[in-house]
Amino acid sequence: MNYLTDFPYNHVLVLGLAKSGTAAAKLLKTSGKKVIVNDLKTNSGAPEVATLKGMGIDVVLGSHPLSVLDGVEILVKNPGIPYDNIIIKEATERDIPIITEIELASHLLKGSLIGITGSNGKTTTTTLIYEMIKQSNKGVKIAGNIGKVATEVAQTMTEEETMVIELSSFQLLGIQTFKPRVAVLLNLFEAHLDYHKTLEHYKHAKANIFLNQTEDDYLVYNFDDETVLSMVKGAKAEKIPFSTKLKMESGAWVDEHYLYFRLERIIALNDIALVGKHNLENILAAVCAAKLDGASNDGIIQVLKTFTGVKHRLQFVENVKGRLFYNDSKATNILATSKALSSFNQPTLLLAGGLDRGNDFDGLIPYLENVKAMIVFGETSEKLKTTALKAGIKTIEFVDNVKYATEKAFQLSDIDDVILLSPACASWDQFRTFEERGDMFIEAVHTLK
């Protein structure tokens, strides 16, 4: 087991439980630190509370008393807690450093680290990289939003292993020394502005993935994304571009028939199982990162011939009486849904809606050409109807939830139609997570069958 032997703080406040906070508190305690945990919403009867108290950790629930900061040298924040939280603001006033759990993980890490971020495609790319390295018979573990908490994974890693970690902007805001040997920046557009407030703040958070990199590290980046291009100009790491449009002699690229890494032909495009142009970008990024970590061509090819997607991310669910059902519940913004729509040429019934973050949906209009009907739900129903009308969609149905949307879409569909759940919105108006939303869709599809 690896412990925090070089972490220079002895009295730590963990703000927010959930998986990352609980894991951080346990690690800090077993590493000999004095730990206090503060959480507003967790029930006192929750099993993780009993576990932490049993370890001798002071757990304060139900409120945010400023006294929890007394004597504290550093604060470990749950990524989802905003910076206008009363404890965060007070910690800032007291000049107490604020980090997230991934910073702790970096103090444990013995092996190599590949970090992936971007507005879309993180989970698919992270999974591809992990599988490519694994199929190359190299030691690898996966962590972050996609799986186990990074601190849990890092505790058992050896110097011969690689950690592949999906990183959100929320996590990347809270770093000090964290740096991946290979950083991957997929794309960037307006997202999470309810949290970050401005696009510049959001870009700053994402750019932290290469903030501490040196000339000995690698930065894999999307050459086709102008925002990404501007962001990486000052990066110190060796830059490895990928492009679906241009030849990249120092990175990954495609022509009409093949995918290449540098000047080496890797695989025929027709042999790649994963559909969608946006997924081709994810694949190119994954090939770069995997090759830089020493993955073999055989391992990479095996994955690309068999990998068909991650659950809730343009996941093929079922063919029911000639209708093709796809679950893209992870599409929580306009860009993700536009990319999903671009993956199909046949008539499509789009299921969309969810949390209202204040934006309109007119950015979807160029991608709605093949949409024959839109079934909308949640807080954004009226806004999506407005967009659908502008796009000339004649069939627009309002329903209460995803289950009824699935049933209605089936009633309106014909043989060979695509029925696509791609909400373009976060799920929190009706669901705890996008996974819960996607599971309702899958269950409804199976019920239809």
pLDDT surpassing 80 at residue 229:
yes
**3 half-sphere exposure, CB direction, 13 A CA radius:** 8
Q: 265 and 174, same structural domain?
A: yes
Which tens digits make up the pLDDT trace of 171-200?
999 899 999 999 999 999 765 556 556 778
pLDDT (average), residues 390-402 = 97
Is 158 exposed, middle or buried, given 0-12, 13-18 or 19+ CB atoms closer than 10 A? exposed
Residues 349 and 284 in one domain: no
Query: Is residue 121 in a domain?
Result: yes
Q: Tell me how many domains the chain contains.
A: 3
427 is in an annotated binding site: no
* CATH code of the domain covering residue 405: 3.90.190.20
Confidence grade of residue 252 (pLDDT, cut at 50, 70, 90): very high
**329 labeled part of a ligand binding site:** no
Based on the domain organization, do 26 and 76 belong to the same domain? yes
Strands 74-77 and 98-99: parallel
The answer to whether residue 1 is domain-embedded is no
Same domain, 36 and 139: no
Domain that holds residue 24: 11-99
Nearest-angstrom CA–CA distance, 148 and 401: 30
Same domain, 351 and 388: yes
Task: Look at residues 245, 180, 246 and name the one whose alpha carbon lies nearest to residue 219.
Answer: 180
Q: Residue with structure tokens 């604060």?
A: 75
Strand-pair partners of 420? 326, 350
Amino acid at 390: K
Element containing residue 121 per DSSP (H, E): none
Domain presence at residue 429: yes
- Please count the other Cβ atoms lying within 10 Å of the Cβ belonging to residue 54: 8
Residue 121 annotated as lining a ligand binding site: yes
Range list of H helices, 307-433: 334-341, 381-390, 402-412
Final residue belonging to a domain, choices 99, 124, 146:
99
Of 99, 118, 138, which residue constitutes the final position of a domain? 99
Token pair of 237 as six digits: 């790491």
pLDDT per residue as tens digits for the range 271-326: 999 877 888 999 999 999 999 999 999 999 999 999 988 888 888 889 999 999 99
Instruction: State how far the alpha carbon of 125 is from the alpha carbons of 211, 361, 444, in Å.
Output: 21, 26, 28
119 annotated as a binding-site residue: yes
Q: How far apart are CA 201 and CA 203, in angstroms?
A: 5
- Do residues 171 and 257 both lie within one domain? yes
Spell out where 300-426 has E strands: 315-320, 323-327, 348-353, 371-377, 395-398, 418-421
pLDDT single digits (tens) 39-97: 998 999 999 999 999 999 999 999 999 999 999 999 999 988 988 999 999 999 999 99
Residue 53 labeled ligand binder? no
Q: For residue 118, say whether it is annotated as part of any ligand binding site.
A: yes
* Residue 212 in marked binding region: no
Residue 196: the pLDDT is 52
* 147 and 270 share one domain: yes
Same domain, 113 and 225: yes
Which of 32, 66, 99 is a domain's end point?
99
Kindly state whether residue 4 falls inside one of the protein's structural domains.
no
Establish if 190 belongs to a structural domain.
yes
CATH of the domain at 81: 3.40.50.720
* Predicted confidence band of residue 343 (pLDDT cuts 50, 70, 90): confident
**CATH no. for residue 163?**
3.40.1190.10
Q: Examine residue 350 and state whether it is found in any structural domain, yes or no.
A: yes
Looking at the chain, how many residues does it have? 449
**What whole-number distance in Å separates Cα of residue 166 and Cα of residue 399?**
34
Q: What is the largest CA-CA distance in the chain?
A: 67
Q: Are residues 93 and 133 in the same domain?
A: no
- Residue 392 in any domain: the answer is yes
> Based on the domain organization, do 32 and 153 belong to the same domain?
no
